[in-house]
Amino acid sequence: MSEAPADRDSILELTELTKRFGGLLAVDSVSLQIKRGEVFALIGPNGAGKTTLFNSVTGMFRPTSGRVVFDGRVITGSKPHEVARLGIARTFQNIRLFDFMTAVDNVKVGRHVRMKAKVWDSLFKLPRERHEEERVTEEAMELLRFVGIARFANHYARNLPYGQQRRLEIARALATEPKLLLLDEPAAGFTPQEKVELMELVRKILTRGITVFLIEHDMKLVMGISERIVVLDHGEKIAEGPPEEVRKDRRVIEAYLGKSA
């Protein structure tokens, strides 16, 4: 990880990012810049390569080529845990909670990187470990309250209702104290009412000074909340700009043709 020429405004900068699976170009030379404190949306039909782009940013996949700069550092090819430590947190399109752990424990796992307890501290339950545990439990409860599911604190994650599971995933991601939060279709399967509530939550997250990078299928939803949108189709960036412009773009309409949006 070396220093990159810093653009102070941008928190994430992708340069010609490409990910190839055998013959399939899932992400094809995509460049984009996300500014600090904005909501940036990534849209596109199914299979466009949106999730793959997230995976390439967070180190789940090593990009075939291209560069990822986060907060002034080149993080191309970093391991997922290193990326998380630096301050990128994410949720998953198909919810990936720790099913047989309680909600509060799920969030506490998110605190892992910001905790200091070493093996010896834990083995002998040294006072500083106990205090840290107490503090982290408090913080985890606070986050559950923040996303509005505190009453499920002691339930197994798998027993939470679907919508609350999505919220729990967000709380867990927030627990890592990210500078940038990647949300992969956080409103998938939501009723319109739930979607509105979710967008409220995203606004609340913004007020914490966290930049949000959002994948969403529902165009309308995205229009309401994000300053800028990038549209992906067959791995390629086909449009970029403020919502009103993107909506009128001919290629975007074509890509979405046959879809309700």
Partner 1 sequence: MSVGDFGFFVICLTAIVLLAAQAVVHPSEFAQILVFGLADGAIYALVALGYTMVYGIIELINFAHGDVFTLGAYVAAAVMGFFAGTSEDTFSVSNLVALLVTFPAAMLLMGAVNITIERVAYRPLRNAPRLAPLITAIGMSFLLEGIMFVWSGPFTVHVPDLLPHGPGFNTTIGGVFIEFKDVFVVVAAAILVSLLAVFINRSKLGKAMRATAQDRDASQLMGININRTIAATFFIGALLAGAGGVIWGLYFNAITYNLGFRTGLVAFTSAVFGGIGNIPGAALGGMVIGLTAAFSDAYIGSKWTQVVIFGILIGVLVFRPTGLLGMRVPEK
Partner 2 sequence: MPAARSLWSRLHLRERIRDRDTAVYGVLLIVALVWPMATIFATGDTFLTSQAAHAGTWVLLAVGLNVVVGFAGLLDLGYAAFFAIGAYSYALFASFQLASSPLHHAYHLPFWLMLFVGMFVAAAFGAILGFPTLRLRGDYLAIVTLGFGEIVPQLFLNLDQWTGGINAIGSIDQPSLPAWITGPWAGANDIAIVRDFNFSFDPVAYYVLIVILIIGAVILVNNLHRSRLGRAWMAIREDEVAAAAMGINTVTTKLLAFAIGASFSGFAGAYYGASFGLVSPDSFLFVVSVTVLVMVVLGGMGNIAGVIIGAIAIYFLLNSVLSSLPANLQSLSNAIGLGWLNNSNGAWPGLSELAQRLQFLLYGLILVLMMLLRPQGIFPSRIREQELKHAVATEEETVVEQAHAS
Q: Which structure tokens are listed for 241? A: 């700009």
Of residues 161 and 242, the one with the C-beta less far from partner 2: 161
Strands of the 73-74 sheet, one edge to the other = 24-35, 10-21, 65-70, 73-74
Q: Which structure tokens are listed for 133? A: 């545990």
Give 102's DSSP letter.
B
Among 28, 30, 50, 103, binds ligand ADP (CB under 6 A): 50
Kindly state the number of chain residues that form the binding site for partner 2, as judged by CB under 8 A: 53
Q: Which structure tokens are listed for 187? A: 């409103």
Binding mask 26-45 for ligand ADP (x = CB under 6 A): x-----------------x-
Region of 146-154, 205-213, 227-235, 243-251 interacting with partner 2 (CB under 8 A): 146-154
Q: How many CB atoms lie within 10 A of CB 193?
A: 8
Of residues 62 and 135, the one with the C-beta less far from partner 1: 62
- Minimum distance from CB of 44 to ligand ADP (Å)? 6
Cα–Cα dist 254/44, whole Å: 11
- Minimum distance from CB of 164 to partner 1 (Å)? 25
| 165 touches partner 2 by CB under 8 A | no
Of residues 10 and 164, the one with the C-beta less far from partner 2: 164
- 3-state class of 127 per DSSP? helix
| 162 touches partner 1 by CB under 8 A | no
Among 57, 84, 215, 238, binds partner 2 (CB under 8 A): 84
Rounded to 10 degrees, what is the CA torsion of 72, 57, 183, 146?
-50
- Minimum distance from CB of 247 to ligand ADP (Å)? 19
Q: How far is CA 134 from CA 74, 108, 112, 129, 141, in A?
A: 36, 11, 14, 9, 11
Binding mask 52-81 for partner 2 (x = CB under 8 A): ------x-x------------------xxx
The residues near 15 (Cβ < 8 Å, ≥ 6 apart) are: 31, 66, 67, 68, 69
Cα–Cα dist 145/127, whole Å: 27
| 152 touches partner 1 by CB under 8 A | no
Of residues 21 and 162, the one with the C-beta less far from partner 1: 21
| 61 touches partner 1 by CB under 8 A | yes
- Applying CB under 5 A, which residues contact Mg ion? 51, 93
